[in-house]
Amino acid sequence: MAVQPPTKDERDANLEALKKAVDEWAEVEIRRLENETTFLRAVLQGRGASDLGTKNLALASRLLQTEINQFLVATAGETISL
């Protein structure tokens, strides 16, 4: 006995059901990801991570300025011989 292919109406119904399922899944997944993002941002803020990055940048900048100043002061009195 041969299996009959689905009719156009059945295919349309299947596609509509698939579209509905995908839309529902996408809504749930987007909501889950937004909640996870909110939670992780709160964790980072609680740890002071946003301030930590700013502090690290400021400290690195001061260190670089100090090292450049020390290099310039140390080599200011020296002459270059060829």
- pLDDT score for 77: 60
Number of structural domains, the chain? 1
Question: Does residue 1 belong to any structural domain of this protein?
Answer: no
Question: Does residue 2 belong to any structural domain of this protein?
Answer: no
Question: Does residue 81 belong to any structural domain of this protein?
Answer: no
- pLDDT score for 21: 95
The CA–CA distances, whole Å, from 27 to 15, 32, 38 equal: 18, 9, 17
- pLDDT score for 29: 96
Question: Does residue 43 belong to any structural domain of this protein?
Answer: yes
Q: Which one is predicted more confidently, 46 or 1? A: 46
Q: What is the pLDDT of residues 4-63, one digit of tens each?
A: 999 999 999 999 999 999 999 999 999 999 999 999 988 888 776 667 677 888 889 999
State which residues form the domain around 48.
9-75
Region 53-75: what's the mean pLDDT? 84
Question: Does residue 80 belong to any structural domain of this protein?
Answer: no
Question: Does residue 39 belong to any structural domain of this protein?
Answer: yes
Among residues 19, 15, 39, 16, the alpha carbon closest in space to that of 27 is found at 19
